[in-house]
Amino acid sequence: MEFSDTYKHSGPCTFSPDSRFLAVAVDSRLVIRDVVSLKVVQLYSCVDKISHVEWAPDSEYLLCAIHKRSMVQAWSVSQPDWTCKIDEGSAGITHARWSPDSRHILTTSEFQLRLTVWSLVSTACVHVPWPKHSSRGVSFTRDGKFVAIATRRDCKDYMNLLSCQGWEAMGTFAVDTSDLADLEWSPTDSTIAVWDSPLEYKVLVYSPDGRCLFKYSAYDNALGVKVVMWSPCGQFLGVGSYDQVVRALNHLTWKPVAEFSHPVGVKGPMTTVVFKEIEEAWQVDMHTLSFADSPSDNRRRVRYNVADLPVTVPSQKPPPDKPNPKQGIGLLAWSADGQYICTRNDNMPTALWIWDVSHLELAALLLQKDPIRSVAWDPIHPRIALCTGTSQLYMWTPAGACCVHIPLPQFVVSEIKWNPDGTSLVLKDKEAFCCTFVPVISEFDPDTEGDELK
């Protein structure tokens, strides 16, 4: 693995969908860098500090949301002179996103008064009143033909379906939720999953014509759903909840085919590999030590040790008198091939659980010294990268796991993102970022990679 120099940022850093460029917000400037050389390709100046950056799906345009000014500015990579500015005036703007055709921008006004679809090719715009959320509650089909938007009026949740061709309304129907948390189209574009707020455990599956195909509730009278995500193939719907269990619902019967619990004591299966992070002093060979390699700095290295089952997972008990308890499944993510799920139980912040869906069992357990800050699956291969707010980058594949020391002074990783082609990662510190170029999966050897780079 190779690491670049550090560069300044003040917020979003995001790769283009075609994997060619990296957009970085630096106060009121938007810097576009080449992914391979990291040289500046374009530089744009916005009217104020950039809050949000998003590439258009075709990688030709990108938008900058400036929440302080309630404004959105859009730019073209190939046409530096082209620019677009969206200002809702007194209505304000709290969120902006692209449509799948890369020629429309959807903005949400303050207090969720309306959602507006702005065209980049004409002056026409379409308004959808009373969107339920600012950044959630909007989902496009994979083919980009339709969009589902959650709205609320008269104390009732509704789902609005629009055609992305002319943005005409295709239908509106009420959904059986008390306080809709979010919705998402299935990867097959055949159904829409809707789930309620944590106050009521309720997951519903609707057809595009408004029929409720299934209603699922695992238990009552307790905090419910925390995170929901479709598998890449659409065969399973993963549901993580406050009872510290992940349930995988089958897309045919809509019943759980697996329940993955997160106990404090892990006893099996025996095929589970437990990687425990340990810190130890460097072992220096005094016969080969040169004068420049003086061990007086007391350097220490971090590595994984394979622990024997059973193991005890460090756990924290949330205080009963405080709201939003740190408990339950706060992270759930599928691998690109849909074979694995990684999860984090929020009252076990130092443990990452990796489940093998094909065998319905725990494949690996990563026990870190510090709470896990960010986790990301490789978009192409079954490989995970994670960080814990230290100078280490951790990686896992089905072949093993490793700890990689980042050779940059005073650099700690708090957030990571993969390039869509799986060849590189952007690592973010508080005010700086760097890129690391990762070998392909066939060249990645966890048994040697960490020792080689420490």
pLDDT digits 0-9 by tens, 1-32 = 889 999 999 999 999 999 999 999 999 999 99
Q: Give the pLDDT band (50/70/90) at residue 287.
A: low
Domain termination site, one of 61, 87, 113:
87
Domain assignment present for residue 135? The answer is: yes
Statement to judge: residues 163 and 196 lie in one domain: no
pLDDT number for residue 448: 43
**Helix (H), strand (E) at residue 376:** strand 374-377
Q: Among 124, 91, 89, 92, which Cα is nearest to 105's?
A: 124
pTM for the full model?
A: 0.91
Specify the residue for token string 């959320």. Answer: 133
Collapsed DSSP state (helix, strand, coil) of residue 110: helix
Q: Are 135 and 181 in contact (CB under 8 A)?
A: no
Contact 381, 406 (CB under 8 A): no
User: What CA–CA distance (Å, rounded) separates 436 from 21?
Assistant: 14
Tokens 């990796």 belong to which residue?
Answer: 354
Question: Considering the domain boundaries, does residue 57 fall inside one?
Answer: yes
Q: Of 240, 241, 237, 239, which Cα lies nearest the Cα of 253? A: 237
Residue 351 in domain: no
Q: How many domains, in total, are found in the chain?
A: 3
Q: Tell me if 236 sits within 8 A of 339, measured CB to CB.
A: no
Mean pLDDT of the chain: 92
Express each pLDDT in 429-452 by its tens digit.
Answer: 999 999 999 887 654 555 544 443
Residue 230 counted as domain residue: yes
**Pair (70, 21) in one structural domain:** yes
What's the Cα-to-Cα distance from 192 to each of 80, 171, 205, 213, rounded to whole Å?
A: 39, 14, 6, 10
Which tens digit of pLDDT belongs to each residue from 200-231? 999 999 999 999 999 999 999 999 999 999 99
Same domain, 102 and 162: yes
Q: What is the mean pLDDT of residues 235-251?
A: 96
Mean per-residue pLDDT, 379-403? 96
Is the same domain home to 152 and 217? Answer: no
Task: Give the pLDDT mean for 55-84.
Answer: 94
User: What average pLDDT does this structure show over 337-341?
Assistant: 96
Q: Is residue 358 part of a domain?
A: no
Summarize the confidence of residues 398-419 as an average pLDDT.
95
Domain boundary among 174, 204, 233: 174
Q: What is the mean pLDDT of residues 354-363?
A: 96
Verify that 100 and 165 share a domain, yes or no. Answer: yes
In a domain, 310, yes or no: no
- Whether the Cβ atoms of residue 165 and residue 213 lie closer than 8 Å to each other: no
Q: Find where tokens 């990662």 sit.
A: 425
198 part of a folded domain: yes
Q: Name the pLDDT band for 318 (thresholds 50, 70, 90).
A: confident
Decide if 205 is inside a domain.
yes
| Three-state SS annotation for 364-419 | EEEECCCCCCEEEECCCCCCEEEECCCCEEEEEECCEEEEEECCCCCCCCCEEEEC
Looking at the structure, tell me whether residues 45 and 103 fall in a common domain.
Answer: no
> For position 442, what pLDDT does the model report?
54
pLDDT of residue 296: 41
Domain boundary among 145, 174, 203: 174
Q: Does 99 share its domain with 79? A: no
Confidence label for 110 from pLDDT (cuts 50, 70 and 90): very high
DSSP 8-class letter at 440? P
Give the whole-angstrom CA distance, residue 102 versus residue 3: 32
- pLDDT at residue 450, rounded to an integer: 45
- State which H helix or E strand residue 453 sits in: helix 446-453
Residue span of the structural domain in which 151 resides:
93-174
Looking at residue 123, what is its pLDDT?
80
> Which CATH number does the domain housing residue 73 bear?
2.40.10.480
